[in-house]
Structure 1
Amino acid sequence: NRTTINQDSVRVPPHDMNAEGAVLSAMLLEEWATARGLELLREDYFYKSAHRYIFRAIQELFNKNIEIDLITIIDELKKKDVFEKIGGTAYLTDIQDIVSSSANLETHAQLVIEKATLRSLIHTASSIIEECYGTGQDSKEIVEHAEKKIFNVTQSMIKEGFERAFDIVSPTIKKIDEIAKRKTKIVGVATGFNELDRITGGFQPGQFIVVAARPSMGKTALALNIAHHAAVFQDKRVGIFSLEMDKETLIMRMLSSGSDVSLHSMLHGYGMDKDKIMNLTRHADKIAEAPIFIDDRGSNTMNDIRSKARRLKFEEGLDLLIIDYMQLLLPVASRQSRQQEISEISRSIKILAKELEVPIIAVSQLSRGPETRQDKIPQLADLRESGAIEQDADLVLLIFREEYYKKEEAENPGIAIIDVAKNRNGPQGRMNLKFVGPYTRFENIDNQSFA
């Protein structure tokens, strides 16, 4: 063991001197290579201190709009009193002569980034080990810190910049052509609701979809109906974060909506005849075989959501993610106001949707705004606690059921209005769906089931 520790202590961190020298040499050759190198790399990506000094000198000259050549680099290094430290004129001349073309700059830069990432991971792993040994923190808290640190390492190495329209047009046309060849109006995850699918074209990868309503309107039911349809009838892989209901209740709701057995009957045993039990068993088999994954931990933060969703996509695949509901998410760090916390959560969900390239449905509460209006119909401005939700979301679906307020006096009992109040990539519009309360199920207005 002592031998192993001694060997570890003298290990040389990962680095590639040749790649570092080649990058600096290319940056001294042409102005475009200087700009691209500064875009891709940071000073601390270089392992050798002499290379860090040279890179910093290039960066400062570039920022001052001074011509970059051997003479100006030498002058800048002398001003910083590091000229002799890097090896003087002889070393700079050697660097300058490494490459005769800047053509392979990006390839060499990626090698430098790769080694820098490994060094950063080693440093991060060492700090995690120290945290495990040296603190009295709860193990779950240490794991959360570790995941955040590892994530920060990977994010810090992502330096995406501008892309030419020339490079974007071709894959965009290819995507449009593929959609046209499918001969279908639905190109994303279908919801099972005809009019909603017509307006949206299905939920697209990278979209942040908000399903919002006042309590007891059926927002969770709508999200679960969509999840059920996607998993059972399209074989889409669906992840559900349930911060309010436990996993058994969620499964019961799916069983109820698909088998015509009320949740009340399931929970209390009333009216459970042979036919209902057979329907329930038959549908239970379908749900058991469907790729549905549920996490019902009520104390999830956005860091938890992010790390678990990534893991799920890596291990099982992921086509649709649901968060029920976003106001119950715990903040990663305490902010001055709840509005700031919700704004941060909203933005994080949008970023996660783009990163995972899957649509994310976030169930959201509405403020008491509708209660103060005579018609009680919700509006975008009623999104609770933050206008950032409205800004970040690609789609906002608002649910309203007249019978909730008017009971027997309702003109349209059993009808729910689904308002596509925001659609970043298409039209807005309202549609009617039938709501079957005992089965927590929405149906197309022609009485066809969401299935």
Structure 2
Amino acid sequence: MPSFSEQVPPHALEAEQAVIGACLESALGRMTCVQQLSPDDFYSARHRRIFEVILELDAAGPVNTLLVANRLRELGYLEECGGFSYLMSCINLCPTLDTPDAFVALVKEKSARRRLLTALAKAKALVLEESRSFDEVRSEAEALVLGAHDPEPEEIDPEEWARQVEVEAAMVSQGLGGRRRVKTGLRYVDSTLKLWPRKLTTLAGGTSQGKTATALAFTLGVLRQGYRVYYWSGEMAREEIWSRMAASELGIRYEDIEERRLTLEETQRLTEFMRQLEQKPLVIVDTPRTVANIRAECRQIAHRSGQVDLVVIDYLGL
């Protein structure tokens, strides 16, 4: 059996050719392909080059075999990519030009497998670095493998960003929503603080000034809106967090919950609250974590259950 490094990476050349053919011959098929694939998804260098030209022409106007061939010739890549006859052969390999979904899915799958192989190779190199701690190596290796499922999003240029703003502004003006943000259900917070995706919000204050209480209020509010929350605490055990949440939500003194000085009615309300909390998309972690740990766990949650909308870190030791 060939060694790990000698094995040919997963690929599907005929599926790549079919995708190229759909892009050249069908506007509908091309739309499907350009929305779901990037040049890096193609194993063949010539197919990557052809798809780059297709994307360039598609952004500017019409696309057809002649235009793609001419652009490749201008760039000096036509012969390297097989010439005009190769482009025509790609069209013949796609029996469903308007609906190339199956070929697109196959190209994406092979691309994902190659990314995973690359991640595993990097993880193997990490494991062999015995000068580093096991926990550190494991965290980075997990992040690499999980990250193989989600390639880094491409950076957008200013013009593309402006187009996004234009679309979202039109949606807002028509009452169709707009830019997505996480809401807490707390009117003052939602109108002033505003939790946007990828935004870091820091709650600052002295000792015992309510930072954790505020973070828990945000968490409960976000959960009520149906969002998924990852809550990491470096100070409190999970049970103490539950006690604080219950006290905030039920109007019972935190000290009474901790000391178990509860009436039967309060105990029943507490039990019902915890039953409901268990059904919420909430993950509480009360053991030491690194940034890489937290990132890896959030990716695991996203793949298993759905996107994590809010990450709460309690606290930042500045």
- The bucket for the TM-score relative to the shorter chain is 0.5 to 0.7
Which runs of 5 or more residues in structure 1 are unaligned? 176-187, 330-451
- C-alpha separation between the residues in 2 aligned to 1:311 and 1:23? 31
In the other structure, the counterpart of 1:223 is 215
Task: Tell me by how many angstroms 1:48 deviates.
Answer: 2.7
Report SS of the residue matched to 1:156.
Answer: coil
- C-alpha separation between the residues in 1 aligned to 2:314 and 2:61? 51
1:155 pairs with 2:138 = no
User: Whose strand proportion is higher, 1 or 2?
Assistant: 1
Which runs of 5 or more residues in structure 2 are unaligned? 178-182
Root-mean-square deviation over aligned CA pairs: 5.4
- C-alpha separation between the residues in 2 aligned to 1:207 and 1:59? 28
Closer/same/farther in 2, CA of residues 279 and 221 from structure 1, 3 Å limit: farther
Closer/same/farther in 2, CA of residues 310 and 59 from structure 1, 3 Å limit: closer
Report SS of the residue matched to 1:146.
Answer: helix
Query: Out of 28, 44, 57, which is 2:24 matched to?
Result: 28
1:141 pairs with 2:136 = yes
Report SS of the residue matched to 2:284.
Answer: strand
Query: Out of 128, 131, 150, which is 2:126 matched to?
Result: 131
TM-score of the pair, normalised by structure 1: 0.47
1:39-438 aligned at under 5 Å gives the runs 40-56=36-52, 58=54, 69-70=65-66, 73=69, 76-77=72-73, 80=76, 83=79, 86-88=81-83, 90-99=85-94, 102-105=97-100, 108-156=103-151, 212=203, 214-215=205-206, 216-225=208-217, 227=219, 239-247=230-238, 249-254=240-245, 260-261=252-253, 263=255, 276=262, 285=271, 289=275, 290-291=277-278, 293-297=283-287, 300-301=290-291, 303-312=292-301, 321=310, 323-325=312-314, 327-328=316-317
Report SS of the residue matched to 2:312.
Answer: strand
- C-alpha separation between the residues in 2 aligned to 1:70 and 1:318? 43
TM-score of the pair, normalised by structure 2: 0.62
- C-alpha separation between the residues in 1 aligned to 2:20 and 2:199? 42
Closer/same/farther in 2, CA of residues 278 and 19 from structure 1, 3 Å limit: same
Task: Tell me by how many angstroms 1:106 deviates.
Answer: 5.2
- C-alpha separation between the residues in 2 aligned to 1:58 and 1:238? 40
- C-alpha separation between the residues in 2 aligned to 1:123 and 1:31? 34
Partners of 1:70 and 1:92 within 8 A in 2:
no
- C-alpha separation between the residues in 2 aligned to 1:63 and 1:255? 54
Which structure is larger by alpha-carbon Rg, 1 or 2? 1
Identity %: 21
In the other structure, the counterpart of 1:333 is none
Task: Tell me by how many angstroms 1:13 deviates.
Answer: 2.9
Q: Give deviations 1:399-439, integer Å, cap 9, x for gaps.
A: xxxxxxxxxxxxxxxxxxxxxxxxxxxxxxxxxxxxxxxxx
Closer/same/farther in 2, CA of residues 283 and 208 from structure 1, 3 Å limit: farther
- C-alpha separation between the residues in 2 aligned to 1:82 and 1:34? 20
Closer/same/farther in 2, CA of residues 311 and 87 from structure 1, 3 Å limit: closer
Is 20-29 or 60-69 further displaced after alignment? Answer: 60-69
- C-alpha separation between the residues in 2 aligned to 1:58 and 1:235? 41
Closer/same/farther in 2, CA of residues 298 and 64 from structure 1, 3 Å limit: same
Closer/same/farther in 2, CA of residues 22 and 210 from structure 1, 3 Å limit: same
- C-alpha separation between the residues in 2 aligned to 1:315 and 1:53? 35
In the other structure, the counterpart of 2:180 is none
